[in-house]
Structure 1
Amino acid sequence: MKIVVIGGSGLIGTKLVNTLSEAGHEVLAASPGTGVNAVTGEGLAEALTDAEVVVDVANSPSFEQKAVLDFFETSGRNLIAAEKIAGVKHHVALSVVGTDRPNANTYFLAKLAQEKLIKESGIPYSILHATQFFEFVGGIAQAGTQGDQIHVSSAKFQPIASDDVVEALADIAVGTPLNGAAEVAGPEKIGLDEIVRQYLSLKNDNREVISDVHAPYFGTEINDQSLVPGDNARIGKQTYSNWIRKPGNLR
């Protein structure tokens, strides 16, 4: 089976390409670095030739409101058009838990627009909603930094190891299209403020973490329901406390 991974050189894409290749599939890592650009359309036709499955894990280089929306809408339209010509049988997309919740931030709304294009394309599809990756905790801390303090919401979320996301994506990619969405999340529910404290402690960073229910999460106020999955989510294996202590994971 030929599988094309759009965004194949990123965090998730690189791991997914390796996982699917090790399972015996013909896998093409597609990214601007390999001459395939979903935003401009460059190289798409050639990359998708004879492909049965396309997995889109590409991410916008900018989270600015207009830029991120343009990225996902433009790349989504170009991919769908190329897939129809190539006869692709299954479109898989990685999205985020919470895109359809009230008060979604601009990034989530851009992902929701991408999902709408996929659902209306007529191509059999599967969408995987994942919670935030463990690798993203440092970014959460950075976003909340105000001088020597870090202001973070105390809202609960259920972060996940990227390896567990890749495992779920690989299973979906070689399976029957869902024509719907599934969720995947980590095994533990924890406050954003709590996990940032763990992260800083392991880095010997003494900055104070201020728990604030009104602290925005990338521009939007959230609550305990904003970032957590539903009851039927697939649950990953790795806990944050175990994952963060593995060599190379604390950055």
Structure 2
Amino acid sequence: MKIAVIGGNGLIGTQVVKILTEGGHEAVAHSRASGLDLLTGQGLPEALTGADVVINLTNSPTFDDASPAFFQQSMDNLLAAAAAAGVGHAVILSIVGAELVPDLVYYRAKVLQEDILKAGPVPYSIVRATQFFEFMEAAMSWTADENAVRLPATLIQPMAAADVAQAVAEVSVGSPLAGTCNIAGPDVFTLAELGRITLITRGDPRPVVVDESAGLFAAASGDALIAKDGDDAIIAPTTYQDWLAR
């Protein structure tokens, strides 16, 4: 099976390409570095020629008000090119609970991306994942200083990027879902609790101060960002402690 991986040089994309290649598929990474530009459509016809599946792992360069326009333009271009090339399956990576955090424009933009795919001409699958372990350092840096790290008590169910990549790869080689596959980490934490675990593990003496207004995830309330009982979510195997130990 020939699979075009758009955004194939990123955190998830590189691992998806590796998994698919090791599985005997012809997985080809495409990105701006290889001459593909989703916003202009440059390189799309060439990237999708002969492809059975296209996986779109590109992301908006910002989390602000520009993100909806990015997803609108990039998805319009991708789906038009995929339909013209006869691609039989389009896959995107989205976020568990994105529609439950309307105060974040980036999350609204991800829901827009899903809606465009659902209404498009190409059979599709959506993989929705919870937050990545790899983003914890960035989440702490947004509201940290030399004395403390401020984090909200937002509930999260984080997972390893490697487990996300595995799920994306498995969905991409199956039949189109015409729906969503939800994946989540094995444990639920508050973001503040996860921050404390991270700091202790790396020997950082700074305390974590619970601040319900701190950072991006302060906009999420209740259980918005965790897998719900009705989601039939796949629970990933890697724990945060095991990931830290590696």
Taking structure 2 as the reference length, the TM-score comes to: 0.94
Amino acid paired to 2:112 = A
| Greater mean alpha carbon deviation, residues 130-139 or residues 196-205 | 196-205
Query: Which residue in the other structure is 2:84 paired with?
Result: 85
Name the SS for the 1:204 alignment partner.
coil
Query: Which residue in the other structure is 1:242 paired with?
Result: 242
Report whether the alignment pairs 1:49 with 2:49: yes
CA spacing shift, 1:65–1:207, aligned 2, 3 Å: farther
Is the CA contact (8 Å cut-off) linking 1:157 and 1:224 kept in structure 2? no
Is the CA contact (8 Å cut-off) linking 2:154 and 2:218 kept in structure 1? no
Query: Which residue in the other structure is 2:7 paired with?
Result: 7
Task: Give the gaps of 5 or more residues in structure 1.
Answer: 247-251
Report whether the alignment pairs 1:30 with 2:12: no
Query: In structure 1, how many angstroms separate the alpha carbons of the residues matched to 2:179 and 2:61?
Result: 27
Report whether the alignment pairs 1:223 with 2:221: yes
Once the two structures are TM-superposed, the CA of residue 203 in structure 1 deviates from its matched residue by: 2.4
Name the SS for the 2:122 alignment partner.
coil
Structure having the larger proportion of residues in helix: 2
Task: Give the gaps of 5 or more residues in structure 2.
Answer: none
Query: In structure 1, how many angstroms separate the alpha carbons of the residues matched to 2:227 and 2:60?
Result: 23
Once the two structures are TM-superposed, the CA of residue 223 in structure 1 deviates from its matched residue by: 2.2
Query: In structure 1, how many angstroms separate the alpha carbons of the residues matched to 2:168 and 2:132?
Result: 14
Query: In structure 2, how many angstroms separate the alpha carbons of the residues matched to 1:90 and 1:98?
Result: 24
Name the SS for the 1:65 alignment partner.
coil
Query: Which residue in the other structure is 2:167 paired with?
Result: 168
Amino acid paired to 2:227 = P
Report whether the alignment pairs 1:196 with 2:189: no
Alignment of structure 1 residues 128-207 onto 2, 5 Å: 128-145=127-144, 148-207=147-206
Amino acid paired to 1:90 = H
Identity of aligned residues (%): 41
Query: Which residue in the other structure is 2:39 paired with?
Result: 39
RMSD between superposed Cα atoms in Å: 1.4
Residue by residue over 1:96-135, the C-alpha shift from the partner in whole angstroms, topping out at 9 and shown as x without a partner, is 1111114341211111111111011031100011000100
Taking structure 1 as the reference length, the TM-score comes to: 0.93
Residue by residue over 1:181-219, the C-alpha shift from the partner in whole angstroms, topping out at 9 and shown as x without a partner, is 11000101111001111112222222221113x224417
Once the two structures are TM-superposed, the CA of residue 147 in structure 1 deviates from its matched residue by: 5.8
Query: In structure 1, how many angstroms separate the alpha carbons of the residues matched to 2:134 and 2:235?
Result: 17
CA spacing shift, 1:168–1:71, aligned 2, 3 Å: same
